[in-house]
């Protein structure tokens, strides 16, 4: 059923170079943020590569095909023998060990067009890599071409329109830092290393979404290179803009530019943290029910997380108001009354606070998946205890539930974006982290078994940006009724299916 362009090899030669402790896994999960990979800067522009002798069994281009694209200064092509290849190949998830035939490091939009034509000529499927944070490694492939966009990382703010233009290689940390100079903010995710491209094209939620909407709700224009290498602008193309808001991850083209509206930056950002120790599954469930109930009154300036490990629960509430409202104070007091430990509130200037959520720079071993959208605790009631008991058999496993709602749940936005699950008020994320390649199979099996429990209990809607390669009926789970409309975009912009990954839209 799944296309086999992905390697699931358990081999890893660099295993000993970047051990990650369990504690740092937990911190990573709570902080949900990691550093920015170093920027490589090769000096030499290479000519496109010809297929090697090992390709001779593959179908070669017929003699009447167009000539191979001539050399270009807009893109650098690396193959397996190049030293730089390894730097650009590895995604954030160390579990993914893919081996593309060619990595096209694009320096500008023309470079992207060149790379698409190059891939077409040599009949290579294309994966698109911006921030490289796809949970399942959908931005790399085996034996295909990867369009690598990390060098296209310019930002520019227009004070007149209060918009920011971002190239796809920009990371969230860059965007937050850049806009802070103008006292502006783009609502986005919490992890600094995530690419603004992949985040936006799949939706994008975080600390500020309940007040300012999803990242994709703030998208005004994009530019896209399609499956033939042609350029399209969304200014006069509302359908293409609609698809870019939650339905554009590697499906039918390369988004080469994003223009966002921005918001006034809150001056400060406050975190409230509570810990609950020595929990069994019954107690964890009772606290989950309690948390869901309290989140009903959470002000829209706030974000909340319920993060459950084997025996410890962490509850995080954040706020962008200068002082907690009486409603928030009452809610926080209820957590304080029950918690084993209450931390002092941490109020910091916005950028400093966000930087504290940028943890490790990876790559890390992990398997994270969407554990479903929920309207209320009732959606989890029946399955909660069995899920937690299964979690406790797997070291390093966490169930994190985050608040949505607020501005996301605005019915007027329903028609404007391919993102389909606005009415869902909570999003679950199942996470497992480990240290060694030898632990992959057990960890993956644990996730698969728990996901099956969720599916059997009727949890079938999932977040596209938290993909699970084993999810049945992922088309409906990620895109709901919008899948058919995305197929229309696929037919129009990529009828030959040159852009593909294991869960890409097909016509
Ligand atoms: C540590 C961590 C923290 C996270 N925190 C959050 C969070 O707070 N909020 C949230 O909403 N999500 C979060 N995510 C999920 C994140 O939104 C997705 O992983 C996102 O797709 C990553 O984008 P990227 O550009 O870094 O990834 P990539 O791996 O480069 O790409 C991800 C997907 O988008 C496609 N794609 C990338 N660039 C383009 C492009 N220019 N044109 C077309 N398709 C493209 C790729 O084909 C791939 O399918 C987090 C992920 C991680 C690993």
Q: Is residue 111 situated within a structural domain?
A: yes
Same domain, 287 and 340: yes
Q: Convert the pLDDT of each residue in 321-358 to its tens digit.
A: 999 999 999 999 999 999 999 999 999 999 999 999 88
Ligand 1 pocket check: which of 154, 198, 207 to mutate, most ligand atoms within 8 Å of Cβ?
Answer: 198
Quote the crossing angle between the two packed helices 281-295 and 326-338, to the nearest 10°. Answer: 170
Nearest Cα to Cα of residue 267 among 354, 378, 379: 354
CB of 168 within 6 A of ligand 1: the answer is: yes
Same domain, 297 and 444: yes
- Domain assignment of residue 236, given as a range: 155-265+481-493
CB of 377 within 6 A of ligand 1: the answer is: no
CB of 199 within 6 A of ligand 1: the answer is: yes
Q: Convert the pLDDT of each residue in 172-209 to its tens digit.
A: 999 999 999 999 999 999 999 999 999 999 999 999 99
Q: Convert the pLDDT of each residue in 256-295 to its tens digit.
A: 999 999 999 999 999 999 999 999 999 999 999 999 999 9
- Nearest C-alpha to atom 31 of ligand 1 is from which residue? 198
CATH code, domain with 207: 3.30.465.10
Ranking 33-42, 315-324, 464-473 by mean pLDDT, the lowest is 33-42
- Nearest C-alpha to atom 9 of ligand 1 is from which residue? 189
CB of 134 within 6 A of ligand 1: the answer is: yes
**What are the Cα distances from residue 268, in Å, to 50, 217, 323, 324, 403?**
54, 23, 10, 12, 20
Band of the pLDDT at 66, cuts 50, 70, 90? low
- Nearest C-alpha to atom 11 of ligand 1 is from which residue? 204
Residue ending a domain, choose from 133, 152, 171: 152
Backbone torsions φ then ψ of 484, nearest 5 degrees:
-60, -40
Q: Which ligand 1 atom is the nearest neighbour of the CA of 193? A: 26
Q: Is residue 296 situated within a structural domain?
A: yes
CB of 432 within 6 A of ligand 1: the answer is: no
pTM exceeds cut of 0.75: yes
CB-facing half-sphere around the CA of 353: CA atoms within 13 A: 18
CB of 222 within 6 A of ligand 1: the answer is: no
Report whether 354 contacts 176 (CB < 8 A). Answer: yes
Residue ending a domain, choose from 152, 169, 187: 152
Ligand 1 pocket check: which of 92, 127, 128, 252 to mutate, most ligand atoms within 8 Å of Cβ?
Answer: 128
Higher pLDDT, 148 or 28: 148
Q: Is residue 60 situated within a structural domain?
A: no
Same domain, 294 and 369: yes
Backbone torsions φ then ψ of 34, nearest 5 degrees:
-140, 170
Same domain, 186 and 93: no
Q: Is residue 39 situated within a structural domain?
A: no
Q: What is the pLDDT of residue 65?
A: 53
What is the Cα–Cα distance from 507 to 504, expressed in whole angstroms? 10
Same domain, 305 and 279: yes
Band of the pLDDT at 67, cuts 50, 70, 90? low
Q: Structure tokens of 388?
A: 């937690």
CB of 195 within 6 A of ligand 1: the answer is: yes
CB of 213 within 6 A of ligand 1: the answer is: no
- Nearest C-alpha to atom 51 of ligand 1 is from which residue? 133
Q: How far is the CA of 409 from the centre of ligand 1 (A)?
A: 22
What is the Cα–Cα distance from 166 to 139, expressed in whole angstroms? 19
Q: What is the DSSP letter of 184?
A: E
Nearest Cα to Cα of residue 244 among 464, 428, 408: 464
Q: What is the pLDDT of residue 13?
A: 32
Q: What is the pLDDT of residue 357?
A: 87
Report whether 496 contacts 253 (CB < 8 A). Answer: no
Domain count, the chain: 3
Q: How far is the CA of 311 from the centre of ligand 1 (A)?
A: 30
Average pLDDT taken over every residue of the chain = 89
CATH code, domain with 107: 3.30.43.10
Alpha-carbon dihedral of residues 443, 447, 453, 458, nearest 10 degrees? 180
Higher pLDDT, 203 or 51: 203
% the chain with pLDDT above 90: 84
Same domain, 223 and 117: no
Residue with the two structure tokens 């800067």 = 41
Same domain, 310 and 435: yes
Higher pLDDT, 416 or 71: 416
Q: How far is the CA of 315 from the centre of ligand 1 (A)?
A: 25
Same domain, 470 and 322: yes
Q: Is residue 165 situated within a structural domain?
A: yes
Q: Is residue 195 situated within a structural domain?
A: yes
Query: Which contiguous run of DSSP H or E holds residue 156?
Result: strand 155-158
Q: What is the pLDDT of residue 131?
A: 97
What is the Cα–Cα distance from 320 to 324, expressed in whole angstroms? 9
Residue 417 has pLDDT above 70, yes or no: yes
CB-facing half-sphere around the CA of 224: CA atoms within 13 A: 31
Mean pLDDT of 450-478: 98
Q: Convert the pLDDT of each residue in 363-406 to its tens digit.
A: 999 999 999 999 999 999 999 999 999 999 999 999 999 999 99
Q: Is residue 10 situated within a structural domain?
A: no
- Nearest C-alpha to atom 4 of ligand 1 is from which residue? 191
CB of 201 within 6 A of ligand 1: the answer is: yes
CB of 32 within 6 A of ligand 1: the answer is: yes
CB of 144 within 6 A of ligand 1: the answer is: no
Ranking 10-14, 341-345, 359-363, 484-488 by mean pLDDT, the lowest is 10-14
What is the Cα–Cα distance from 257 to 153, expressed in whole angstroms? 10
CB of 202 within 6 A of ligand 1: the answer is: yes
Ranking 66-80, 106-120, 425-439 by mean pLDDT, the lowest is 66-80
Band of the pLDDT at 361, cuts 50, 70, 90? confident
Residue with the two structure tokens 């309290």 = 294
Same domain, 355 and 287: yes
CB of 184 within 6 A of ligand 1: the answer is: no
Same domain, 259 and 355: no
Same domain, 338 and 454: yes
Q: How far is the CA of 71 from the centre of ligand 1 (A)?
A: 30
- Nearest C-alpha to atom 7 of ligand 1 is from which residue? 189
What is the Cα–Cα distance from 213 to 207, expressed in whole angstroms? 10
CB of 149 within 6 A of ligand 1: the answer is: yes
Residue ending a domain, choose from 97, 127, 152: 152
Q: What is the pLDDT of residue 23?
A: 31
Q: Is residue 467 situated within a structural domain?
A: yes
Residue with the two structure tokens 């994320």 = 429
Q: Convert the pLDDT of each residue in 207-234 to its tens digit.
A: 999 999 999 999 999 999 999 999 999 9
CB of 128 within 6 A of ligand 1: the answer is: yes
What is the Cα–Cα distance from 232 to 170, expressed in whole angstroms? 21
Residue 43 has pLDDT above 70, yes or no: no
Nearest Cα to Cα of residue 206 among 290, 275, 263, 277: 263
Report whether 140 contacts 127 (CB < 8 A). Answer: yes
CB of 198 within 6 A of ligand 1: the answer is: yes
Same domain, 328 and 294: yes
């Amino acid at each position: 059923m799944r296309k086999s362009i992905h390697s699931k090899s358990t081999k890893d030669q660099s295993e000993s170079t970047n051990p990650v402790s369990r504690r740092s896994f937990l911190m990573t999960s709570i902080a949900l943020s990691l550093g920015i990979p170093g920027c490589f800067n090769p000096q030499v522009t290479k000519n496109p590569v010809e297929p090697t002798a090992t390709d001779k069994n593959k179908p070669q281009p017929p003699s009447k095909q167009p000539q191979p694209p001539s050399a270009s200064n807009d893109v650098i092509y690396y193959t397996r023998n190049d030293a730089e290849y390894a730097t650009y190949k590895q995604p954030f998830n160390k579990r993914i060990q893919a081996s593309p035939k060619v990595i096209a490091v694009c320096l500008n939009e023309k470079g992207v067009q060149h790379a698409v034509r190059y891939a077409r000529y040599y009949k290579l499927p294309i994966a698109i890599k911006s921030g490289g944070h796809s949970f399942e490694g959908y931005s790399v492939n085996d034996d295909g071409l990867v369009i690598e966009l990390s060098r296209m990382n310019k930002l520019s703010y227009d004070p007149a329109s209060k918009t920011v233009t971002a190239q796809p290689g920009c990371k969230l940390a860059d965007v937050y830092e850049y806009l802070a100079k103008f006292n502006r903010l783009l609502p986005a995710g919490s992890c600094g290393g995530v690419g603004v491209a992949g985040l936006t094209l799949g939706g994008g939620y975080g600390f500020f979404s309940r007040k300012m909407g999803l990242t994709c709700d703030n998208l005004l224009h994009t530019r896209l290179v399609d499956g033939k290498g042609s350029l399209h602008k969304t200014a006069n193309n509302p359908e293409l803009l609609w698809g870019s808001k939650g339905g554009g991850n590697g499906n039918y083209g390369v988004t080469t530019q994003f223009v966002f509206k921005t918001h006034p930056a809150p001056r400060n950002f406050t975190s409230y943290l509570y810990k609950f120790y020595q929990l069994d599954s019954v107690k964890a469930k009772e606290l989950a029910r309690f948390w869901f109930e309290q989140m009903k009154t959470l002000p829209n300036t706030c974000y909340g997380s319920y993060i459950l490990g084997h025996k410890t629960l962490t509850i995080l509430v954040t706020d962008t108001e200068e002082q907690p409202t009486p409603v928030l104070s009452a809610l926080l007091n209820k957590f304080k009354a029950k918690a084993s430990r209450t931390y002092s509130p941490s109020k910091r200037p916005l950028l400093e606070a966000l930087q504290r959520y940028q943890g490790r720079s990876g790559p890390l071993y992990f398997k994270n998946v969407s554990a479903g959208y929920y309207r209320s605790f009732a959606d989890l009631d029946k399955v909660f205890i069995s899920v937690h008991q299964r979690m406790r058999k797997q070291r390093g496993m966490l169930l994190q539930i985050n608040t949505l709602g607020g501005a996301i749940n605005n019915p007027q936005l329903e028609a404007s974006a391919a993102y389909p699950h606005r009415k869902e008020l909570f999003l679950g994320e199942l996470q497992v982290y480990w240290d060694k390649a030898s632990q992959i199979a057990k960890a993956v099996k644990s996730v698969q078994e728990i996901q099956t429990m969720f599916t059997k209990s009727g949890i079938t809607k999932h977040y596209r940006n938290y993909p699970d390669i084993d999810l049945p009926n992922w088309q409906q789970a990620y895109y709901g009724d919008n899948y058919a409309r995305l197929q229309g975009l696929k037919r129009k912009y990529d009828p030959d299916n040159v852009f593909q990954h294991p869960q890409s839209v097909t016509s």
